[in-house]
Amino acid sequence: MSNIQGKVVIITGASSGIGEATAKELASKGAKLVLAARREDRLKKLQEEIQKNGGQAIYKVTDVTSYEQMEELADYALKEFGKIDVLVNNAGVMPLSPVYQKKINEWDTMIDVNIKGVLYGIAAVLPSKRERKEGHIINVSSIAGHLVFPASSVYSGTKFAVRAITEGLRKEEFINNIRTTIISPGAVATELIEAISDLELKAKIVEESKVAIDPASIARAIAFAIEQPSDVAINEMIIRPTIQEL
């Protein structure tokens, strides 16, 4: 029996990409899923697919940039399943642009989703995990959280922040038997590129992303971290396409 069997897992950004793939992977291993995203039609479709295949899933439309909605999501999980074993903070956006273009609204969106969304998720689930003296928080960063390239200044800044927050959380909560994991994907075939508003830059990134791997590859890494015994913490993983240089 998988160590994932029966674990209650909240996944943000579950309507597509890595979040959707992770939901399917964990459902196949017996997790009880709480799916969160803004697009209800996709959440409902994913829930139905998981249930059709014998899995357990509920969903709640959630905007991770709202602290109140993240609190409501955690409360919903506790009400329905009685506990929260794992939070996968996966929601993220990547509207890359050079700083000189001053795309302030895009900067604000990245800060709100990629940093505040992660913090709000942690804040929402941490009290129940501290009370139980166990749990696991998985934050999705990026290869851009390890290096910076032209047009990634702000995006990389948010993903460096995710790594710093997660490592700080580890040092604060290891005594409470709470595990933390940083997942840093390289090029993955998701919708992230669609948010790039500079068409010339977008075309360049699309070309570079032809080496992208399937989101299921990241989902398997997340499952690997979760299924370790409770005394083992996989603190950080970088998962790239084999032929990706960056």
| Domain containing residue 59 | 8-230
Sheet holding 178-185, edge to edge: 56-61, 32-37, 8-12, 86-89, 135-140, 178-185, 236-239
**Confidence check: pLDDT of 73 > 90:** yes
Q: How confident is the model at residue 1 (pLDDT cuts 50, 70, 90)?
A: low
**Does residue 175 lie within any of the structural domains?**
yes
The whole-chain average pLDDT of the chain stands at 97
**Does residue 181 lie within any of the structural domains?**
yes
Average pLDDT over residues 8-14: 98
- Ramachandran region of residue 99, left (φ > 0), alpha (ψ -120 to 50) or beta? alpha
| pTM beyond 0.75, yes or no | yes
**Does residue 87 lie within any of the structural domains?**
yes
Tokens, residue 113: 């989703």
At 89-125, the pLDDT tens digits run: 999 999 999 999 999 999 999 999 999 999 999 999 9
**The total number of structural domains that make up the chain:** 1
C-alpha of 115 from chain center: 12
Tokens, residue 183: 């997942």
At 188-245, the pLDDT tens digits run: 999 999 999 999 999 999 998 899 999 999 999 999 999 999 999 999 999 999 999 9
**Does residue 147 lie within any of the structural domains?**
yes
**Does residue 241 lie within any of the structural domains?**
no
CATH number for the domain including 143? 3.40.50.720
**Does residue 199 lie within any of the structural domains?**
yes
**Does residue 213 lie within any of the structural domains?**
yes
At 37-66, the pLDDT tens digits run: 999 999 999 999 999 999 999 999 999 999
At 138-155, the pLDDT tens digits run: 999 999 999 999 999 999
Q: Return the pLDDT at 169.
A: 98
Positions marked catalytic? 155
**Does residue 235 lie within any of the structural domains?**
no
